[in-house]
Amino acid sequence: MIKQVECKTALSPSSLPDLDYSLNPYRGCQHNCIYCYVPNVINIPRENWGKFVEIKRNIPLILSKELKRKKPGIIGISTVTDPYQPVEKKYKLTRYCLEQLLKHDFPVCIQTKSSLITRDIDIISKISDAEVMISIGTLNDKERKLLEPNSSSIKERLKTLKIFANNNIKTSVFFGPIYPTITTKEIPNIIDTFIQHNISEITIDNLHLKPGIWENIQKKLQNQPIIYKAFLTKIYGNKKNHYSELRQKIIEIGKERSIKIIDAF
């Protein structure tokens, strides 16, 4: 269900590291990632997540007014939705907001799982302080299709990174939530793949099991016994320290490759 609504505010104070404000042109997300924590944050029944999007049709106008009086700071686009989910192709709210941000030249950090962001490279390239962060939790696109059904493929995301880097725009990877199916042996190849696409840094994060998330994963993976077993073993079984082992390996490889590794939280 897609519904157009009016919003009263555009920018919200952000508690996330290195962000002063958050800007979310939409409420809800069509990517429908089964591990998403947002339903817990904005109090939406998990069974409804992915089934609706509210279009904040007046948000570019509200943003324009707020930017005139807000203290300059880094704006995160977005924090509780993907700014380039499929509806953006039609409604272009993220693009219209970027036009306002360019006028006032506020620094921005845009995080997405969608290659649609390349459409707006003409605007983003003109913002004096812009970062494009692409979320990638695995290089296995078969698993990506299961857990992030309506998002861009991993190949498209990597291509997106290169396009922006080749246009001298800062790029980074949000390597998270790191899929529990990943082994420490795979880490060097994953990190090297990111580096080959000219990123400046990598932020890492674990799969956080907020209430309802594990049940959602179980439901989705019930017909995928091999993947389900890997998730179960490394989250609840004798491999509970799996993420700690992965993190340690990532930091080790990061030092060897001279690439900055940042903990998300």
Give per-residue pLDDT as tens, 5-49.
999 999 999 988 889 999 999 999 999 999 999 999 888 888 888
Please report the beta strands in the chain, taking only residues with DSSP state E, as ranges in sequence order.
2-5, 11-13, 21-23, 26-27, 53-56, 75-77, 108-112, 130-135, 170-175, 201-204, 260-263
Q: Are 80 and 42 in contact (CB under 8 A)?
A: yes
Q: Are 178 and 135 in contact (CB under 8 A)?
A: no
What the block records as the tokens of 27 is: 């409420």
Confidence of residue 237 (pLDDT cuts 50, 70, 90): low
Domains, the chain, in order of start with CATH, read 2-263 (3.20.20.70)
Q: What pLDDT is attached to residue 222?
A: 85
Q: What pLDDT is attached to residue 110?
A: 98
Query: Which backbone phi and psi does 21 adopt, to 5 degrees?
Result: -135, 160
Nearest to 206 by CA among 14, 35, 87: 35
CA distance 103 to 169: 18
Tell me: pLDDT of 176 over 70.
yes
- Position with higher pLDDT, 228 vs 233: 228
CA distance 170 to 130: 7
Q: Give the number of residues written for the chain.
A: 265
What the block records as the tokens of 168 is: 């001298």
